[in-house]
Amino acid sequence: MSSTTVLETARQPPLNLTLQNGQKIYFHSDTSIEADEIPVIDIKGIFSENIDAREAVAQKIREAAHRIGFFYIINHGIDPKYAANTFEQAKRFFGLPDEKKMEVCTDLVEEYLGYFPMARYNRNGKKKQDLMEAYNWGYNPKFDPDVASEQEPDTDAVKLLWPKDLPGFKETLYEHHAQLLTLARRLTRIFALALQLDEDYFDSYIKQPAAGMRVTHYPQQEVSCVTGFFALLSNESNQTSPSDQLGIGAHTDFECFTFVTQDEHAGLEVLSKSGYWIKAKPIPGSIVVNIADCFMRQTNDFFVSTVHRVVNKAGAERYSCPFFFGFNHDMKLEPVPTCVSANNPMKYPIVSSGEYLKWRAATAKKAY
């Protein structure tokens, strides 16, 4: 299950990197730039009863998902108090002693859940480990407003990986999760329109979706004294990275699409098709949306799962909250009919969502 991405550029960029999923990427420089490539989409129309209003948003999303795979959404309807509460809980958790955080370490389970310790991983082979720590939790029907089940999943991860002595932690995080889950289901219908399908095409795929969520803490990184033109010049001549450490290394997400709620500090960077790292600075009140690998596979590469990373040079601690939305585990990632033809056959083997996500999580954990 690997693929090669060749970025659209007049000449092959001098730097390359192989990701954990086997994908090979090329880029010109490890120094990011500012560019107006990531669109800001007002999605207020998705709440309209007028199909024309929903279609208008879908067309904007179609262009962004195909061209770069990243976009900001505004007027999404989620009260900012939920993000503020989540970041407050994140600070509570990451402020615990290391031994308390390690009681819920992801090493205890097979699932991609629990605590990911500080500076343990090195996704891109830098001189120093990725400077971040994270806490992941998964979908729970008990907190799904569309299911309202009293039953919690009977898995070791659910039983073991919630920290003790943090009252309100779990409930507060799931309050935010429920808001994002509702928005994700609605946006999935807009993605169907964007793919020129019936609006309800994916409804059966998202009854009990793979909907994981994460809070991430990025301490301040050292700022290199070589920046701007001289950093680019150094990169071009020596063909080595000026950056010895990342917050989180270059990667693509596993699922269908991701919502990223950022705090006020910049750090997220997106790899453009032309081979440059583009800054995705925070926009107040917005959520960043990026296409992930399952959607790219199912749309036969029409939607682009774009490589991204974090470099925290903001001069302060940074917190972010990604929400990873995927299909029910038992659903097959069958090709979207509008994205395949006799002249453009399916490029990927058909597997279930659960099989693919399990493979990706195992591959990621093995690399750590």
Which whole number is the average pLDDT over 85-100? 96
Which whole number is the average pLDDT over 31-35? 82
Q: Which residues of 235-268 are buried (b: 16+ CB within 10 A; e: fewer)?
A: beeeeebbbebbbbbbbbbbbbbbbbbbbebbbb
Tokens 């490029």 belong to: 347
Q: What is the pLDDT of residues 272-284, one digit of tens each?
A: 888 888 999 999 9
| Per-residue model confidence (pLDDT) at position 1 | 38
Q: Would you say 289 and 69 are in contact if contact means Cβ atoms under 8 Å apart?
A: no
Q: Would you say 173 and 113 are in contact if contact means Cβ atoms under 8 Å apart?
A: no
CA distance 6 to 26: 7
Q: Residue 83 is encoded by which pair of tokens? A: 């993000």
pLDDT category, 243, cuts 50, 70, 90?
Answer: low
For the chain, list the strands marked E by DSSP. Answer: 15-18, 24-27, 40-42, 70-74, 114-116, 133-137, 210-218, 248-251, 257-262, 268-271, 277-279, 287-291, 308-310, 318-326
| Per-residue model confidence (pLDDT) at position 188 | 97
Q: In this model, does residue 70 exceed pLDDT 80?
A: yes
Q: In this model, does residue 76 exceed pLDDT 60?
A: yes
What percent of the chain has a predicted confidence (pLDDT) above 90?
Answer: 58
CA distance 340 to 337: 6
pLDDT category, 180, cuts 50, 70, 90?
Answer: very high
Which whole number is the average pLDDT over 22-31? 73
Tokens 């990725």 belong to: 130
Q: In this model, does residue 240 exceed pLDDT 60?
A: no
The fold of 20-367 is Jelly Rolls (2.60.120)
| Per-residue model confidence (pLDDT) at position 358 | 85
Which whole number is the average pLDDT over 242-271? 87
Which whole number is the average pLDDT over 221-237? 48
Sign of the four-CA dihedral 107, 112, 116, 121: positive
pLDDT category, 347, cuts 50, 70, 90?
Answer: very high
Tokens 């429920």 belong to: 178
| Per-residue model confidence (pLDDT) at position 20 | 63
CA distance 119 to 147: 38
| Per-residue model confidence (pLDDT) at position 212 | 94
Question: Mean pLDDT, the chain, as a whole number?
Answer: 85
Which whole number is the average pLDDT over 98-125? 86
| Per-residue model confidence (pLDDT) at position 8 | 44
Which secondary structure element, helix H or strand E, spans residue 10, and what is its range?
none
Q: What is the pLDDT of residues 294-322, one digit of tens each?
A: 999 999 999 999 899 898 888 899 999 99
Q: Residue 220 is encoded by which pair of tokens? A: 């301040």
CA distance 86 to 203: 28
Tokens 């071009």 belong to: 236
Q: In this model, does residue 239 exceed pLDDT 50?
A: no
Q: Which residue has the higher pLDDT, 13 or 29?
A: 29
